[in-house]
Structure 1
Amino acid sequence: MKLTTTTTLALLASTACGFYAPQVVRSLLSPQDPPIHLARRDDEPASDDVWNKAKCIGGQFFKAFPLSDKDAGQEYSPKKDSVQSKWKGDLKDGLKKWGWTQNTLLKSVCEFDESALGKGWVDAAKQLNIGTEGWKDIWCYRFSHGTLWDVAADKTYNADNKDYPYTGAYAQFGINDDDGVILAMDNLMPSSAIKKNKQRDPQDGEVPALQSLSDLLWGGWYRGSQPDTSNNENVKNLKYLISLSVTNSESLSIIRRALKAKNKVTASLWPGDNFDISTAEGKALLGSPNGKRFGYLLAQRKDDVGIKKIDSVTVFRGKDHSNPILIFYVK
């Protein structure tokens, strides 16, 4: 397995977990090893293994955020001169080379109103001064790594004189650069796509070099919410990193355990519950699958967005019985 910057940071975080490091490192380096134990059911709080892994990853981001790129690299083992992502600018060339295409979405997919996400979401957006009109305030991106038909037909693309298979991965998100918002909507990254669509672990040479959601989010953020006319003129204007309608079972279990600290079973409607990132709950939410893509985005883009940190996260629901929403506040 080739170690990317993202994987290296995950390994660094795992080594800081003490007792939990061997399990996490094995699961990253040897796909045949079983994953660490998750919560037994989707409606249960995270197990100690899941909780402590997420808390340690979030803790490493918390430690890296205020450091310069070079100083952050010194926290790695072995030490690095830089942790900056190699993927630059709008990523159009990189996306094309590595088998990604940009899809045109219907207006109905880019709706962020009460009917789509609930009054709780609308109340949050109003209080935070976030414009929510699709294709005006927010531009919706969808990058796809082939179709399910391509996967079933074992269709390939060529990069660097080598054939790679399409994985069926995709990333869908919204960008509002005027108000400083990235909204992660739905995604399935290449390694996970192979596991889902092929019912097996990825093999050497299957996963594209451009494979990280944090890099795809960057490509959209760089282009901005009016990409047909101009790029984002102020890429440093990041204020809110939002995960809409969280469905990842591991993230949901971490959310439940964090809320348990406040004697709650489920997320409340807006204003919900806020957690400082310096707390165990805040770090675990940041290190969850739905949080760490934002941690990587800030940790690996210091040269692009400046030295920024996530100082707190709010968990809430847009409407009753809906999936929770996470808002990470960037300073």
Structure 2
Amino acid sequence: MKITTTSIFALMASTACSFYAPQVVRSLLLPQDPPLHLARRDDEPASDDVWNKAKCIGGQFVKVFPMNDKDAGQEYLPKKDSVQSKWKGDLKDDLKKWGWTQNTLLKSVCEFDEFALGKGWVDAAKQLSIGTEGWKDIWCYRFSHGTLWDVAGEKTYNVQPDNKDYPYTGAYAQFGINDDDGAILAMDNLMPTSAIKKNKQRDPRDGEVPALQSLSELLWSGWYRGSQPDTSNNKNVKNVKYLISLSVTNSESLAIIQRALKPKNKATASLWPGDNFDMSTAEGKALLGSPNGKRFGYLLTQRKDDVGMKQIDSVTVFRGKDHSNPILIFYVK
């Protein structure tokens, strides 16, 4: 697999963290479940290896958040003069070029009320002053990289100016944007590398994965357009306050959440207000470095020219209702 200068985030803060540097490729931005034979039990917290890797990744994000773009680039391997993303603006043309389609969603799939997510979520949103009405406060975006029929039929799309054909992967991403209240709400996603593994039961081959492939870039596209894209773009892209992962299902993230809660003698996340972890703690860093956290770390790290010198200072883990999947809220300042 070809590794580009943007594909490896060097964890050089300590000898222990540098051990994980070769593993931190961009595909790890995405929630990825382990093979079925390695799947964790529901009552099993993260192993030392999973925990330490996540803690190191999160710790490195915490380190580079306050750095300027050039200094942050020195933490990559190989070192770079800039970590700013090459994908600019609303990405509409770039998404189309690389085989992505924006889907039209029914109103019923953009619900953030008590019925959908529970009273705990509604209480959290009220306390944080986050409006939750779909298509008014929150605009729902869904991007798909072909359908399962396209994958099964080995359908391709052509990329110019190289005149090269790429296969559709069946990847998708769905999320909500509330620019007035500063919230990005990640809902459901399967990115190209993971989609190929799932849909074709093998690792990607050279020339299969689109250049525009990370969730952080898709989130940026939605954030740039804002919550009223039919009438105007987001007029204040620097107004990022809350990065939210709704209904976490990724097995690795769930294991990290469970281990983070263990010192509090909790086996599962509590209802709102849940448990808050500062980024100075091992638990906070591990949650930021989890599959459901690091897409947000990359979003802020690689958009310094766009959103300003933002950093995440804490994260809350909670449930919206009993027996539901955990919710993560990362607080940006």
What TM bracket, shorter-length normalisation? over 0.9
- Residue ranges of structure 1 left out of the alignment (5+ in a row): 30-34
Match of 2:295 in 1: 293
* Contact in 1 for aligned 2:102/2:143 (Cα 8 Å): yes
Helix, strand or coil at the partner of 1:7: coil
Match of 1:152 in 2: 152
Counterparts in 2 of 1:244-255, with a 5 A limit?
244-255=246-257
Match of 1:321 in 2: 323
* Contact in 2 for aligned 1:181/1:241 (Cα 8 Å): yes
Helix, strand or coil at the partner of 1:163: strand
Match of 1:206 in 2: 208
- Residue ranges of structure 2 left out of the alignment (5+ in a row): 27-33
| 2:61 partner letter | F
Match of 2:167 in 1: 165
Match of 2:313 in 1: 311
Match of 2:141 in 1: 141
Helix, strand or coil at the partner of 2:230: coil
Identity fraction in percent:
85
Work out the CA distance in 2 between the residues paired with 1:229 and 1:322.
Answer: 36
Give the C-alpha shift of residue 20 in structure 1: 6.7
TM-score normalised by structure 2 residue count: 0.93
Residue 18 of structure 1, aligned match among 15, 19, 24: 15
Deviation digits for residues 269-327 of structure 1 (CA, Å, limit 9, x no counterpart): 00000000111000000000000000000000000000000000000000000000000
Deviation digits for residues 245-279 of structure 1 (CA, Å, limit 9, x no counterpart): 00000000000000002111100000000000111
Give the C-alpha shift of residue 43 in structure 1: 2.4
Instruction: Name the Cα RMSD after superposition.
Output: 2.0
Match of 2:100 in 1: 100
Give the C-alpha shift of residue 23 in structure 1: 6.4
Match of 1:175 in 2: 177
| 2:247 partner letter | S
Match of 1:129 in 2: 129
TM-score normalised by structure 1 residue count: 0.94
| 2:300 partner letter | L
* Contact in 2 for aligned 1:102/1:141 (Cα 8 Å): yes
Work out the CA distance in 1 between the residues paired with 2:43 and 2:175.
Answer: 26
Work out the CA distance in 1 between the residues paired with 2:20 and 2:312.
Answer: 28
Match of 1:32 in 2: none
Work out the CA distance in 2 between the residues paired with 1:128 and 1:6.
Answer: 34
Helix, strand or coil at the partner of 2:264: coil
Relative distance call for 1:85 and 1:264 in structure 2 (3 A) is same
Moved over 6 A (4+): 35-39
Work out the CA distance in 2 between the residues paired with 1:130 and 1:54.
Answer: 29
